[in-house]
Amino acid sequence: MISLHKTLQDELRGTPVSFERFQTLAIRLLDTGVLSSGDSQLETELYQDAARVEELLHSYFDIIDCTLFHDHGFEYMRLYPPGSDIPGQDKQDNDVLPKGLRMQLSQGDIASALVLRFLYSEAMQNASLDEDGEAMINLEAFNTTMATQLKRTQPLSVTERRSGFGRLRALKLINFPSDLDVTDPNAQLAIRPLITSLIPEQALADVVAEENTETAEVDV
């Protein structure tokens, strides 16, 4: 009987990545769905090691029909479950998506992500992204876009707003200082390029055209 465990160990011997490190990389991607260089020293090192064994990771995840997407320009990897809408690829039909590999978000969270994607597209068109591919916006622009494009408003509760932005930061869609004042319309946050891998351009166009945010989950 062929041992996948032994086969993987044999393949890793020709790389600087140990079997235990490979396990760490795979678990991290299954757990968070993304590795991004520059977020911290730890994550940068994980990303660099993942890049060293990228082909093995592709093969490993292909066994369970998951796809590892690597953006070399912005240096991040995102793991997609079966049937996901992946940038540059045709969407695959799959009626049984593993819930453990999906990020469950509220309608409000998804509405916020759509607004961020809309604003990021505008920044791209206006060539106003910074050298890291990020778009700086203020909360007034965010709130206005949510009202005009999706006919929605932010939660009245400050705690709910902070929690929502925190979940989007955990997905690495945005970045902001820890003392962000969510009630200040001039407060700024950065929309990260990873937003394009979560919400493709066509998906955004479809949702905005239909003014529909009824979906209850997003692939990560």
According to DSSP, residue 154 is labeled -
Q: How far apart are CA 140 and CA 160, in angstroms?
A: 17
pLDDT tens by residue, the chain, 220 residues: 457 888 899 999 989 999 999 999 999 999 888 999 988 899 999 999 999 999 999 999 999 889 999 999 889 999 988 877 666 665 554 443 334 445 556 788 888 999 999 999 999 999 999 998 999 999 999 999 999 988 888 888 999 999 999 989 988 899 999 899 999 999 999 999 989 887 777 666 676 666 544 444 444 4
Q: Nearest Cα to 126, choosing from 117, 135, 113?
A: 135
**Whole-model pTM above 0.75?**
no
State the angle between helix axes of 54-62 and 19-32 in degrees (0 to 180), rounded to the nearest 10. Answer: 60
